[in-house]
Amino acid sequence: MESKLKFLTTEDYNILREKAKVAVYQKNDIIVKEGASPQRIYILQKGSVRVEKATVGAGVAIAFLQPGDIFGEMSFLEEAITSAKIVAQDIVEVLILEQNDLYSLLVSVPGLSARFYQSIAHNLSLRLRETTSLVVSLSRTISTYSYGEARRAGYEGQDRIPPELIGELELFKHDLLEVENNLRAKKITEETAQETINRVCGMIANSLREQIIHHQDIEKAIGTYIFRETFPFLMLSSFIDLAFRQARNCGSDSDIVEMLSQNEPEGDGHLGIYIDRWIRSIPTCLALKSRGGIITATLKELTVGWSADESMPVTSLASGAATEILDLFLHTEIPNIHVTCIDMNQRRLAYAANLARKLEFQDYLTFIQDNIFLIAQGHSCLDIPPQQMIYSVTISNYLSDRELIAILDWIYDRLLPNGTVILGNFHASNPDRLLLEHILEWHLIYRSAEQLEKLFGRSKFRTLPVTIESDEFGVELFAVCTKSWT
């Protein structure tokens, strides 16, 4: 155990231990309450604890402490209330130094006070350096990350829009207005209205794809033109409205998938619900709705071969609301697994943690808030014990090649021998790619199977065999690789 009280001598430790009380806590016991005045310092001897804050959400960890770490020192120094809650992650043993006992030692033992406060100052300095590094790295990430098109005008080629495309868009608007008028006058059935909406919206999606294939030099101009002409109609769909507003990073995927899984088309006006039904029927939406299948199937397969008494450790990166895991627990006998869910979206984690408590699944799940992009850049202090499976169906879509290789290295180092990684990535041949980019402004990093295989080869997985398969819709690729025994 490496102590964080760096400048204390062995004799100093022996003196502190003589005065300290030893306390043992069981898993999920609260050691320190947020907003309390404990008037004591804790030294973690065995086990691990998680740090939670009420502003993040109950059950969502923002940090973990390991043997040798201390906590409660800030409240001790400032004589203030605690700023976070400390919860036992497993069976924990701590040394507890009461304020009066510690003060008496600091004034009576020669040199102890200087060494103690120097150790505390050293710890605070390290934390400040880490925080500064994180802020700089996060600022750099925010400044370079693409949040969609910066403009929707001024692209070269606006004066060269193909006449047939202009005609198709005029027909699109005419047909939709006609459907709206007929619905208002009750001259058309819902079935006929839906068939017409599907036809004209599908026509524009196909036209977008075909025109860009034939006029690649003015792709931006064509995409912008179709966007402007269709926007007032398509935004009547509740799903398109959500996707357009939120499809900017992996933290938004969970909201989109959740809305699809509810299977409740909605929209404004007479046309909204029909357009909503159409967009939900495109391959990408169908694939997103069922994307958790490969994860649950692999989990079931791995648990069959898991013979250890303890739960099989699994980690989900960019987990969102952990929908696929909660669904697995809800609809099948709970397998012998413990899933650690890591995401930067505090709201989604808090929602999942609260739902897990209501369903009494909290003992099978750990929720951690952390920034995946900082992990990819090597600026996160997050560490987890070796895992049998680490997966993400989202992050590859938002990471550059360099960042994805860094994530693969991070995963490799945290897999058990014979552990498995699964990564999802939108297929370079996704049939809806141009629709997503130009209409929904959902800008992802698409990759082919060959590109994914090369990235695995450039990571610590190197020459290990990678199985890459597409979903049935041709929307997403899933790469699976097992870390061999060494």
The domain limits of the chain are 10-139, 158-288, 289-482
Just give the CATH number of 10-139. 2.60.120.10
pLDDT band at 141 (very low <50, low <70, confident <90, very high): low
Whether pLDDT at 132 is above 80: no
Task: Indicate the average pLDDT of the chain.
Answer: 88
pLDDT, tens digit, 9 for 90 and up, residues 188-233: 999 999 999 999 999 999 999 999 999 999 999 999 999 999 999 9
Asked if residues 396 and 424 have their Cβ atoms less than 8 Å apart, the reply is yes
Give the Cα separation of 24 and 44 in Å (integer). Answer: 10
Q: Would you state the pLDDT for residue 168? A: 96
Residue 209: closest CA among 311, 292, 283: 283
Whether pLDDT at 143 is above 50: no
pLDDT band at 96 (very low <50, low <70, confident <90, very high): very high
Q: Please name the CATH architecture into which domain 289-482 falls.
A: 3-Layer(aba) Sandwich (3.40)
42-56, 252-266, 323-337, 400-414: least confident range: 252-266
Asked if residues 97 and 394 have their Cβ atoms less than 8 Å apart, the reply is no
Tokens for 445, please give them. 């990093």
Rounded average pLDDT over 89-97: 93
Kindly state the percentage of the chain with pLDDT values over 90.
Answer: 56
pLDDT, tens digit, 9 for 90 and up, residues 442-459: 889 999 999 999 999 999
Q: Fold identical between 10-139 and 289-482?
A: no
Count of residues making up the chain: 486
Q: Would you state the pLDDT for residue 321? A: 85
Asked if residues 482 and 464 have their Cβ atoms less than 8 Å apart, the reply is yes
Tell me the whole-structure pTM to 2 decimals.
0.81
Q: Would you state the pLDDT for residue 131? A: 61
Rounded average pLDDT over 243-253: 68
Residues in Cβ contact with 58 at an 8 Å cutoff, skipping those fewer than 6 apart: 52, 350, 353, 354, 357
